[in-house]
Amino acid sequence: MPNIPQSEPSSKPVPVRRLSKSRFLAGLQCHKRLYLEIHSPELATPPTPDRRAIMDMGTDVGVLAREFFPGGVLVEETHRQIPAALSRTAELVLDPTVQAIFEGAFVWQDILVRVDVIERLDATRWRLIEVKATSKVKATHLYDLAIQSAVLEGAGLLVDGCYLMHLNTQYVFLGGALNLEEMFALDNMTDEVQARRERVQPQLEEMWEVLQQPVAPVIEPDGHCQQPYECPFWAHCIKEKSPRWVFHLPGGAKLQNMLIQEGVETIDDIPAHIQLSDIQQHVKANVEWISPLLRARLQSVRYPVHHLDFETFMPAIPVFAHTRPYRPIPFQWSNHIEYEDGTIVHHHYLCVDGRDPREELAHRLLLSLGETGSVCVYSEYERFLLFALGDFLPHLKPALSKVVRRLWDLLSVIQQHYYHPDFQGSFSIKTVLPALVPKLAYDDLTIQNGAVAAVMYQKMVFSETDLMERAHTAQALEEYCGRDTWAMVELRRVLIGRVGGSVL
């Protein structure tokens, strides 16, 4: 990533007095990101509701993890009260009766960190623990620990061990109290962190240097913008890119990055000798394509055709017995049934309170699906959920297994047998629907994607007390899930039209 000044919206660089742990990590992803976060934060895309929900879930996991350390004391001062947080932390460090400190504030070389947990081992030694709501250790967590341990030691603490505490997704909650010993995994990452510690100082020096420049460094967007997470300046950095930018080629970052490195700017510029998958070739050709097998595939449905979609939520901390962290819990389904004469009937289910919805949801679903007809879905997700429901409800497993045998995946039919230039390489129903059925999209809905549906559902059943608000959310959820299944009805009709009308 060369640090060459360019004409990026010029900001008057104000003197930067302090970095934080999160800015250090932003700088590791990209120096331009660090620069923009400090000098032009208004260019960032604000977090979406689902992204905010993920962050809240991380906070909840962090709070729960504190129960693991009896005798620990929380530094309650917020990020707006840093001097008070620093002095409170210093007090707690000097108090030998304090066994652990949560959210302690430390500064070294103008780097401020708030540490999830430090645990007192004896009079001088401390253990550093970073809590993550993830299921496994990632490389970025090691740098997270590395910068924290550097600051702690710089601030005068003896750090004897760096640990990552994360969720054990194999833990099965049996109801009652959570078993934190089983739900959390505590991994000793001391050696891995040590290996990164020596790189911290030179990295910091580079970052300070970048921040003193009058303009942001020139760094082209590519795969690094998505690792470890999508950069909030992505929309800003790609705003001048063509819709045919090579990064929009589906099928993996490796090929995209290789093409970008070779100076290939658009999909149209990809040299003929580059081997592309079938889907990539259609994206490159950029014309409508209908497979000779599409008609037969469409004819393979059996009437009445059920069009089924589930909505799910995935709590990091299990809320229902016999679930695991991040286990998807279906709380809603919609089924548009199309009969052979063209009649359409709509059935739907939504759990509107905080009960475990799975048994009632499954019973109602089986009634709605009956014994005959194909069950049209869009992706393999419904198959996975039906299997999971069968495992949880053994008495319904045979009936649910029969439903699985009736599944008919519209997504795979489209991926293998049809392409439209407006897909722009994406087969998401959110892209395919407006391309093929322009009158029907999602932008008129309060809820426009499944992640937001999950957030709204959890708010409705676990925290919303206003009955009107709950009713509005329930309606928005019904409309969203219903749109997904109506979309499948319309998509099948359009595809039938493309192969010459009736497929009966």
Residues in the site for ligand SF4, rule: CB under 6 A? Answer: 29-30, 32-33, 36, 219, 221, 224-225, 231, 233-234, 237
The residue among 230 and 268 lying less far from ligand SF4, judged by its C-beta, is 230
Structure tokens at 339: 């009969």
Measured between alpha carbons, how far is 148 from 353 in angstroms, rounded to an integer?
42
The two beta strands, 158-167 and 125-131, are parallel
The residue among 175 and 252 lying less far from ligand SF4, judged by its C-beta, is 252
The residue among 208 and 387 lying less far from ligand SF4, judged by its C-beta, is 208
Structure tokens at 300: 């393979």
Q: CB 23 → ligand SF4: shortest distance, Å? A: 13
Identify residue 303 by its one-letter amino acid code.
Y
Tell me how crowded residue 255 is: count the other CB atoms within 10 A of its CB.
18
Structure tokens at 197: 């510690």
Q: CB 54 → ligand SF4: shortest distance, Å? A: 19
Structure tokens at 167: 């969720």
Q: CB 33 → ligand SF4: shortest distance, Å? A: 4
The residue among 25 and 231 lying less far from ligand SF4, judged by its C-beta, is 231
The residue among 34 and 65 lying less far from ligand SF4, judged by its C-beta, is 34
234: CB partners within 8 A, 6+ apart: 45, 221, 225
Q: CB 61 → ligand SF4: shortest distance, Å? A: 26
The residue among 183 and 231 lying less far from ligand SF4, judged by its C-beta, is 231
Identify residue 267 by its one-letter amino acid code.
I
Q: CB 441 → ligand SF4: shortest distance, Å? A: 27
Measured between alpha carbons, how far is 138 from 407 in angstroms, rounded to an integer?
36
Structure tokens at 203: 């990295």
The residue among 187 and 222 lying less far from ligand SF4, judged by its C-beta, is 222
Q: Is the peptide bond before 13 cis (omega within 30 degrees of 0)?
A: no
Residues in the chain: 504
Measured between alpha carbons, how far is 312 from 409 in angstroms, rounded to an integer?
19
The residue among 155 and 210 lying less far from ligand SF4, judged by its C-beta, is 210
295: CB partners within 8 A, 6+ apart: 499, 500, 503
Task: Return the residue matching tokens 């969720």.
Answer: 167
Q: CB 246 → ligand SF4: shortest distance, Å? A: 15
Q: CB 422 → ligand SF4: shortest distance, Å? A: 25
Q: CB 263 → ligand SF4: shortest distance, Å? A: 17
Q: CB 237 → ligand SF4: shortest distance, Å? A: 3
Q: CB 30 → ligand SF4: shortest distance, Å? A: 3
The residue among 240 and 466 lying less far from ligand SF4, judged by its C-beta, is 240
379: CB partners within 8 A, 6+ apart: 409, 411
Positive or negative, the CA dihedral 193, 194, 195, 201 is positive
274: CB partners within 8 A, 6+ apart: 255, 259
Measured between alpha carbons, how far is 231 from 14 in angstroms, rounded to an integer?
23
The residue among 217 and 325 lying less far from ligand SF4, judged by its C-beta, is 217
Radius of gyration of the chain (CA): 27
Measured between alpha carbons, how far is 272 from 277 in angstroms, rounded to an integer?
13
